[in-house]
Structure 1
């Protein structure tokens, strides 16, 4: 087509690139912007709606990053780079993948519908191989930082498989994400670990969900990042503005732009985009009256030209964006503050209500004409408006990021040794047993031990990770001896730091723990080397990082979460260190299987199975709720049958009689009280059985699967719980758990049995364990009373 650019290559060292790359990028930016907005419009105004609900899609938030993301994906990114796209830019991401042939039209047409492109980029739900899921703002950003630490860990521990080229972990983030506290927690951890190869690209459109962001926020942003060793690159002015600043009056105009309040600038943008561009001239002349050169400078532009000049911010100017990214010439972490206009180039530009706003049908029709889209060509990946389609296709194919094949890497399974460590002790807590097992693994040379990486938010010693760390050391980019050891000061802990260490010590921030576990748990698909992360924390503080835990599971990251102490067993420390509802969290969280063993042999069976489950195609992560309460250990053989029942979720600790009227059902460290009550009742109720539940979660999942099969008319197999309770077919149940009673009370409904449920429903207080169990009705007397109530209920 006459007058349109052809794909002419020029030599650039060992790589050829188009002579006018800028023209290609601008053409693709236009197409990406159109497709993202049409995708949203189709979902809200064209696709039939059966429920009448607004679909949404964040057109304005997508428009502000169209330039930035086009530059990244078609020019800057390399195959080894990994990207977290801000949640509300999902349509832009999917449009780019569509142009690259990694997303199909059907997914775009079904944006936010079942099976279609997801509302926010998702590793597990989207077809176009998202690197990092995003959704809850701030978490995806922090994920890139912990991804950088994970990449460093993998490259140092497996140098023989290192390609020699580190990928950049890149977050494209909205400025409002900087309101999330987890961002700053992550920055501090990144500073401690001297992170590299990390870019955070801030879409600084100065608008958030409910309004306009505070003025001069960028000054604070610059200070935050500079304080932790990041390089800050400002992408503030577009090329039209930079040229204007060189003219007489230009510096005064620059100062006016810098000082203009965000809400005023946004209002003028909106007015200018929607038929009143003269507002710029009137306001500038009023504010800069008497400044030499201003009237003459403004006179060089008609109203439309002045509006184009004033909206030519750096983050929406392809040339300025490319120059900004080119400033990152080393592996230091970089923060790019890219000034943009929310809703740029659309009728919604600048309006403070545009965050969730949608173009009307009339506005979309106008936008369609503005973009030069022909009727019937709305879904075409490319057109020849700017240059031949064939040339554009060739340009896309040559983008460094756009290589053939899957971006999801394969990693070999890690065998779990047959001689998995066991614990022999007359009396021990499950927390201590956990430390003993890891210590034994750490002393060995198994491949499993080499793939385990532990992490903890400043509770390494108090969660019994200390012996493992003594064996394997702390990971650090900067080697440092244990000063206490070199100074000959006696300490049980050997805190030597080196690149060979296998423990990542974190500060007290549970969000960081869970995002670190997410990054480590995705090392295989992201970096090609499988890791088996083990993270520890205090059980009550799971709730502090619950959003990040959910985020980790949503991405299908695989890890073993070990929390302690369970329930109110750390009695003297009071409610601050006592947990009530965490088992319900474990049962309700998808992708996470919750266990609460009472004895060391149960724990060993669970951990052995768990390291395999973390690697299985249909597997997931584990949550082990352990206790600091030392229990007398049963003397028994750890047979495969026993281990299988433990893993399945329950076994008979004391076999019931077939005609037993009542069965005791317990979970976790409450076992001694149950045994005491059983001993007191044994003479009068010789057939009284004790069902030890090691995983309410596994039992519930099995029962729920059966319920779903029944609803679908499928054949129903007995659950593990069915088979166990069949040994006491008429028994009522008394459930006992040092947690919310709902964690076990459901078993009554599942089994169709009357049930008495004991547990904790109020915040704890300081006391010794005996007083607390008596106060909350968990002691042997309370259990005996519940058995009596169950028997009475049968008589009535």
Structure 2
């Protein structure tokens, strides 16, 4: 299951509540199924206090269904973030018991890093400030050749390395970050440890491949008509028929067919809603109270009713082991 995200950290933490709910349903009623709980999280969302309150909860470290993909694009709504602080994020998640994966560079850059002068290029980009890197994304090839080597002791080696690249390859390589490398993402998903939560720190460029990529104010920027036509030509789409299906028998059509078949589920039979009581049988002693207090009294009243929903407990005796829904085994515990 995947969740949409947004402000105040609600979407980021939703997989946690989804995992807890699924385990409750499995313990209480059975038939909840298995699977991971995915959330694509913007790096600015990690500023929300609710995120870290959830991450640091001791019970969360055992929820192996949870996968967060953090989009590290160095930008907020209207500015370039001065400090990315990826090292700090990595340390915080590690300390909370999460598996941390980092996808910083794509295959094109990794190939360059293995060539003579590549180590110097990696150090230069690693040490570069966010504003400087974002500015390079907006430069043409000539300006990249002038700015990228810098003025440090590695400048000569970097200059020699990028001299061997044509203009298009140089500009494309600079934006080749790990979050845009589908093979790298696929490998990361395959290496997920299902015994604990996972966070994937994926470096990206906001507006990747578009004319406004990396621009500090591109959050709500729109393409012009000509730019849309150019984009359609580049990706093989039709502006006048954007939802045209792939040609029958093509690899794209076969992939769509296989994916639809894999995602098809049996129709869910909906149970009729329960009748809500109009009277809980108890009269509050006070007529003045907040809505929160009234809710608290209502919930307390429900605890006195004879029939209660099953408690969220492990049906196994204490100390026993039982199979984890995703495969590996976990000690029995209240989940």
TM-score, scaled relative to structure 2: 0.81
> Does the 8 A contact of 1:191 with 1:228 survive in 2?
no
1:491-510 equivalences under 5 Å are 499=334
Give the structure 2 partner of residue 338 of structure 1: 202
How far is the alpha carbon of 1:416 from its aligned partner? 5.5
How far is the alpha carbon of 1:475 from its aligned partner? 5.1
> Does the 8 A contact of 1:479 with 1:499 survive in 2?
no
- Change over 3 Å in CA distance of 1:478–1:262 after alignment to 2: farther
Give the structure 2 partner of residue 309 of structure 1: 173
1:2-151 equivalences under 5 Å are 82-86=1-5, 135-136=6-7, 138-151=9-22
Does residue 297 in structure 1 map to residue 161 in structure 2?
Answer: yes
1:248-267 equivalences under 5 Å are 248-267=116-135
How far is the alpha carbon of 1:202 from its aligned partner? 0.8
Once the two structures are superposed, residues 717-772 of structure 1 have per-residue CA deviations (whole angstroms, 9 ceiling, x without a partner) of xxxxxxxxxxxxxxxxxxxxxxxxxxxxxxxxxxxxxxxxxxxxxxxxxxxxxxxx
- 5+ residue gaps, structure 2, are 288-293, 320-331
> Does the 8 A contact of 2:100 with 2:201 survive in 1?
yes
Does residue 196 in structure 1 map to residue 64 in structure 2?
Answer: yes
How far is the alpha carbon of 1:137 from its aligned partner? 5.0
Does residue 242 in structure 1 map to residue 110 in structure 2?
Answer: yes
> Does the 8 A contact of 2:102 with 2:202 survive in 1?
yes
Give the structure 2 partner of residue 450 of structure 1: 309
> Does the 8 A contact of 1:342 with 1:349 survive in 2?
yes
- Number of residues paired by the alignment? 315
> Does the 8 A contact of 2:16 with 2:63 survive in 1?
yes
> Does the 8 A contact of 1:235 with 1:338 survive in 2?
yes
Please give the root-mean-square deviation of Cα atoms over the aligned residues, in Å: 3.4
Does residue 404 in structure 1 map to residue 264 in structure 2?
Answer: yes
Once the two structures are superposed, residues 286-318 of structure 1 have per-residue CA deviations (whole angstroms, 9 ceiling, x without a partner) of 335555643332122112111111111111111
How far is the alpha carbon of 1:410 from its aligned partner? 4.0
Name which of 227, 231, 234 aligns with 1:363. 227
How far is the alpha carbon of 1:147 from its aligned partner? 0.9
Name which of 218, 229, 239 aligns with 1:354. 218
- Change over 3 Å in CA distance of 1:389–1:269 after alignment to 2: farther
Aligned-partner SS, 2:303: helix
Once the two structures are superposed, residues 683-724 of structure 1 have per-residue CA deviations (whole angstroms, 9 ceiling, x without a partner) of xxxxxxxxxxxxxxxxxxxxxxxxxxxxxxxxxxxxxxxxxx
> Does the 8 A contact of 1:476 with 1:498 survive in 2?
yes
How far is the alpha carbon of 1:228 from its aligned partner? 1.4
> Does the 8 A contact of 1:281 with 1:298 survive in 2?
yes
Give the structure 2 partner of residue 278 of structure 1: 142
The CA distance in 2 between the partners of 1:401 and 1:202, in whole Å, is 29
Aligned-partner SS, 1:200: strand
> Does the 8 A contact of 2:64 with 2:194 survive in 1?
no
Give the structure 2 partner of residue 226 of structure 1: 94
The CA distance in 1 between the partners of 2:231 and 2:147, in whole Å, is 27
How far is the alpha carbon of 1:136 from its aligned partner? 3.8
Aligned-partner SS, 1:252: helix
The CA distance in 1 between the partners of 2:212 and 2:297, in whole Å, is 60
Give the structure 2 partner of residue 175 of structure 1: 43
Once the two structures are superposed, residues 302-360 of structure 1 have per-residue CA deviations (whole angstroms, 9 ceiling, x without a partner) of 12111111111111111111112222042421000111111111101111111111112
> Does the 8 A contact of 2:73 with 2:205 survive in 1?
yes
Does residue 323 in structure 1 map to residue 187 in structure 2?
Answer: yes
Larger Rg: 1
TM-score, scaled relative to structure 1: 0.36
The CA distance in 2 between the partners of 1:180 and 1:398, in whole Å, is 39
Query: Which of structures 1 and 2 has the larger relative contact order (alpha carbons within 8 angstroms, sep 6+)?
Result: 2
1:605-620 equivalences under 5 Å are none
Give the structure 1 partner of residue 281 of structure 2: 422
- Change over 3 Å in CA distance of 1:191–1:265 after alignment to 2: farther
- Change over 3 Å in CA distance of 1:390–1:304 after alignment to 2: closer
> Does the 8 A contact of 2:61 with 2:197 survive in 1?
no
> Does the 8 A contact of 1:83 with 1:169 survive in 2?
yes
Name which of 14, 24, 28 aligns with 1:153. 24
> Does the 8 A contact of 2:179 with 2:202 survive in 1?
yes
